[in-house]
Amino acid sequence: MIVLRDVTVREAAQKSLLDAGAALTLRLEENQRLQQKLEQQAFQDHLTGLFNRRHASTVIPPVLSSASENAPVSLIIVDLDYFKQVNDRYGHDVGDNVLSSFAKILSDSLKGAEFAFRYGGEEFLIVLPATARDSALERCAQWRHELATLAIAELGDVALSFSAGIAIAPQAGTSLLECTKTADIALYRSKISGRNKDTVWGEHLDGMDREGPADGHGARTAPSGRKAMLP
C-alpha cells in the first residue's frame, strides 16, 4: 500500500517560521545598535567627540581615589582664551572648528588610561594618571604649541591660546569635587595673570605681590610670527 502526503503546506509553514525568526533577529540587532548609539550619545559630546561632563562624574572618581604620593594624578582644566572673540569676529562655524580641532589635539595626545572631556563651552578637562607636576606642565606646553600653530584659514595669522589650572591628587584632594574646585582656583589665577598660562594649585598664591607670574607656573606665550588674540 502506498500513502501519498502533500507536504507543501508544512514546508510553507516552516519557511514562514524561518522568515519570521530571521526578521526578529534583524530587529533585535537593530535595537541593540540603537541602544548602543543612545548610550554613546549619553556620554559623548556631539561636536568634539570627546566624553562629556556627565561621563566625567562616572569615570574620574575611581582614578582620583587611587592617587598616591608615588602615583599622583593630574587633573587639568583648560579654558580657550578669548573664545567669545572668535565667535563674534569669525562666526560660530569657525568657533566650532576651533573646538573640534583642539579636541583632536587632546585626543591624539592621550595615552593609556588618560581621559579628555569637553567640560562645557570652551572648557576642557583632562585627567592624567601617574602624572606629576612637571609632566603635567610639559603636556600643557605641548598642547599650547599645537594650538598656537593650528592652521585655520579664517583666522589667518592669529595664534590661539589657552589658560589652564592644574590640580595634583592627592595633594589637591582625591574627589572630583575637590580637584575640580582647586583646578578652577588655579585656572582663575592663570586668567587674572594675563592668560596663556598654566597654574598649579598650591602655587597659585606665589608671586601675588610681584608683577607677572611667578617662576614655576608654566607660563607660555604664543610663538613668534603669529599675533595673539587680544581682548
Give the range of the structural domain holding residue 24, as residue numbers without chain letter: 1-43
183 and 75 both lie in a single domain? yes
The per-residue pLDDT string of the chain (231 residues; one tens digit each, 9 = 90 and over) reads: 665 555 677 777 777 878 788 877 877 777 666 665 555 567 899 999 999 999 999 999 999 999 999 999 999 999 999 999 999 999 999 999 999 999 999 999 999 999 999 999 999 999 999 999 999 999 999 999 999 999 899 998 889 999 999 999 999 999 999 999 999 999 999 999 999 999 999 998 876 654 444 444 444 444 545 666 655
23 and 134 both lie in a single domain? no
173 and 100 both lie in a single domain? yes
Number of domains in the chain: 2
38 and 58 both lie in a single domain? no
Q: pTM (2 decimals)?
A: 0.77
62 and 87 both lie in a single domain? yes
31 and 59 both lie in a single domain? no
Q: What is the CATH number of the domain that holds 74?
A: 3.30.70.270
Strand order in the sheet with 123-128: 51-52, 115-120, 123-128, 73-80, 162-169, 198-200
Instruction: Quote the pLDDT of residue 16.
Output: 80
58 and 19 both lie in a single domain? no
130 and 177 both lie in a single domain? yes
Q: What are phi and psi of 42, to 5 degrees?
A: -70, -25
Contact of 218 with 201, CB cutoff 8 Å: no
Instruction: Quote the pLDDT of residue 40.
Output: 58
Q: Among all residues, which ones are annotated catalytic?
A: 122
